Structure 1
Amino acid sequence: MTVYVDNMRMPATVGRIRANWSHLTADTTEELVEFADRLGLKRSWIQNPGHAWKEHFDVTDTKRELAIRLGAQPVTLQEACALWAAKREAARAA
């Protein structure tokens, strides 16, 4: 099982935070939320909860860098999309 962080780095303002944002995702929901806990992310910040194939957290550059230091695998946005597509297909087949 692996945690991934993409390189989207989309500029956006969320609340009072103006930053470049990327996606943190993982092979399983459990692994994703456990890793998010280590990053100091609130579990309520998960995007698309209940849809395991597209669940993720949006992370700033600072959290992205920390995630990589803690063992997340850096991937391109295209690779992240391919991971989500593979998870979606596996869920449909199940």
Structure 2
Amino acid sequence: MTVYVDNARIPARVGRTSGRWSHLTADTVDELNAFAAELGLLPGWFQTCKRKCHSTLPCVHWHYDVTDKYRSAAIELGAQPIDIREMGALTTARRAALSARPKGPTP
């Protein structure tokens, strides 16, 4: 399992925090949330779609937005830095994996 942090570095102000924001994600939601807790991120900062996205499948865009400070700390804790295009590839792979799952009960 791996945790990833992209290089989006999008300038924005969220509440009282201004900075450059990137996305932190992982191979699984559980791994992401455990890593985020270790990093000091609050559970309420976890982001996912509020409704189905792009299909009837569950959301595949789950992540935390992190400022440069947390991005650097995540890399120090072992997160793999990736390009923003690789983040897109991760979500595409998640969607494909969900689509490939058999429908209905298994025999």
| Range of TM-score over shorter length | over 0.9
**Where does structure 1 lack aligned partners over 5 or more consecutive residues?**
none
Q: How large is the Cα RMSD of the aligned pairs?
A: 1.3
Match of 1:18 in 2: 18
Provide the TM-score with structure 1 as the length reference: 0.95
Show the counterpart of 1:78. Answer: 85
Residues 5-37 of structure 1: CA distance to partner in whole angstroms, max 9, x if unpaired? 000000000000000000000000000000000
Corresponding position: 1:88 with 2:88? no
Count of residue pairs the alignment pairs up: 94
Moved over 4 A (4+): 49-52
* Structure 2 partner of 1:60: 67
Compute the displacement of 1:93 (Å): 1.3
The percent of aligned pairs where both chains have the same amino acid is: 53
- When Rg is computed on C-alpha atoms for both structures, the one with the higher figure is 2
1:45 maps to 45
SS of residue paired to 2:47: coil
User: What is the aligned partner in structure 2 of residue 27 from structure 1?
Assistant: 27
Matches of 2:86 and 2:73, distance apart in 1: 20
Inter-partner Cα distance in structure 1 for 2:59 and 2:40: 21
User: Distance in 2 between the 1:73 and 1:36 partners?
Assistant: 14
